[in-house]
């Protein structure tokens, strides 16, 4: 079991290999479809003009993401009426939905870890090698257990996106995950897909 603290260095990332279990501690952000699309269109491709507090939010999140992690998660949050936020459930979202955006977001912000479930594809794997970075597979169906590793909700940005789609800034201690895509070009998801395809073809032959 490898313990990692955010921010994560390039050397630490390169020491990780597909299949390594990790416990992650530090401050990270949640972000799903709406957040990734907003990042790409507003600050990377610059295909839309920043509005409202966009620039202020960007300046706040950039140092958190530099060397940091983003978690594909739509949490269940208590305390919305008082602002005393607490994660009740924090299970991972299926990551492949972010595949069109993820690699560019990783390069732009120098992200070192992307966390979710189900894995990602070639564009993200290429970014893992270039940045370098890793994809960490969190445990689907263990939302309440994972929420216990969220020791503090430090704040929220873009709450107008909705609770699941907002960027929640969280402090985690010993967040459990497994490296399933590493910086050396290996993807457990691609390997399992290839093995499954081979078995299917042999059954159909």
pLDDT digits (tens, 9 = 90+) for 71-81: 999 999 999 99
In sequence order, the β-bridge partners of residue 77 are: 87
When comparing pLDDT for 195 and 130, which is higher?
130
Which of 28, 19, 181 minimizes the C-alpha distance to 90? 28
E strand or H helix that includes residue 59: helix 54-65
**pTM of the complete model:** 0.94
Angle among Cα 148, 11, 9 to the nearest 5 degrees reads 50
pLDDT digits (tens, 9 = 90+) for 140-184: 888 888 999 999 999 999 999 999 999 999 999 999 999 999 999
pLDDT of residue 204: 83
CATH number of the domain bearing residue 188: 3.20.130.10
pLDDT of residue 192: 84
In eight-state DSSP terms, residue 179 is E
pLDDT greater than 90 at residue 194: no
pLDDT of residue 143: 87
Active site residue 36: yes
pLDDT digits (tens, 9 = 90+) for 13-44: 999 999 999 999 999 999 999 999 999 999 99
pLDDT digits (tens, 9 = 90+) for 38-73: 999 999 999 999 988 999 999 999 999 999 999 999
In eight-state DSSP terms, residue 73 is B
Return d(Cα 8, Cα 27) in angstroms, integer. 11
- Given 36, 72, 137, 189, the catalytic residue: 36
Task: Please state, for a pLDDT cut of 90, what percent of the chain lies above it.
Answer: 87
How many of the other CB atoms lie within 10 Å of CB of 122? 11
Q: Which domain holds residue 99?
A: 2-204
pLDDT of residue 199: 80
In eight-state DSSP terms, residue 184 is T
Q: How many domains does the chain fold into?
A: 1
């Amino acid at each position: 079991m490898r313990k990692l603290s955010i921010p994560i260095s390039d050397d630490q990332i390169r020491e990780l290999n597909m299949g390594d279990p990790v416990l992650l501690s530090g401050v990270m952000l949640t972000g799903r479809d709406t957040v990734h699309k907003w990042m790409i269109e507003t600050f990377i491709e610059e295909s839309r003009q920043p509005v409202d507090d966009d620039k202020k939010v960007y300046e706040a999140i950039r140092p958190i993401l530099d060397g940091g992690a983003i978690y594909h998660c739509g949490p269940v949050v208590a305390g919305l009426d008082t602002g005393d936020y607490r994660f009740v459930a924090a299970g991972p979202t299926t990551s492949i939905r972010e595949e069109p955006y993820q690699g560019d977001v990783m390069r732009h912000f120098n992200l070192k870890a992307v966390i979710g479930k189900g894995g990602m594809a070639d564009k993200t794997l290429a970014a893992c090698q270039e940045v370098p970075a890793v994809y960490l597979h969190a445990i689907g169906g263990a939302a309440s257990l994972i929420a216990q590793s969220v020791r503090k909700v430090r704040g929220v940005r873009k709450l107008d996106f909705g609770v699941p789609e907002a960027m929640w800034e969280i402090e985690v201690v010993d967040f459990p995950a497994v490296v399933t895509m590493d910086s050396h070009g290996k993807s457990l998801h691609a390997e399992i897909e290839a093995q499954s395809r081979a078995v299917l073809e042999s059954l159909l032959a």
